[in-house]
Amino acid sequence: MTKTKKLLSVGVVGLLVIVLVMGGIYAYLTHGWLWSLDMRAYGRLLHAMPDPPGLLKKTDMVDLTPYHPYGSRSYDVNRDHAEVVEFFLVELPKSGWNLEAETSVRYDLDFEDYALEKTEMLFSYRQRYWLVVIILTKVSDEGTRLDDPWVRLEISKHKEDLTQIGP
């Protein structure tokens, strides 16, 4: 191998090392070192949650991005609001989740001809992971369901990163 080829090889390898180091620095500054580990854990936990009967698969969406300190999953369920709430209150404790708080509220919207029923539940898993379950249903003034309940699950290692529950 000639001296020119050696210098060219060293230059190419050096340039490759610089690009990799800069990529690592960029990833650290925008995501943190352990971002990918947390997101993988959040994804596994969200998919391990029991699915309520009537879950509409075409509406099932998981959001795991570096721009949020939590993972989330949302979907619609073809059941009544109370049935969906009861499902989570019964099934999540069987999977090791402990109910920490629960709130339910009905919003009567003055500018619309319907109301919103909202239930929020906060669960913890071994005090290591926190889960907020939000169930939102559009109902008539008489209480009849007008749309399928929308469910959102948010999971994080830090309780303060999640949607704060309450009216």
Given a contact cutoff of 8 angstroms between Cβ atoms, the answer to whether 1 and 10 are in contact is no
Please give the residue range of the domain that contains residue 72: 34-161
Task: Give the range among 5-19, 67-81, 93-107 with minimum mean pLDDT.
Answer: 5-19
- Whether 118 is covered by a domain: the verdict is yes
What is the number of structural domains in the chain? 1
Residue 145 lies in a domain: yes
For the ranges 65-69, 127-131, 134-138, which has the lowest average pLDDT? 65-69
Residues 6+ apart with CB under 8 A from 147: 137, 138
**82: in domain:** yes
This prediction's pTM? 0.74
Rg (CA), the chain: 23
Query: Is 27 within a domain?
Result: no
Give the pLDDT of residue 35: 54
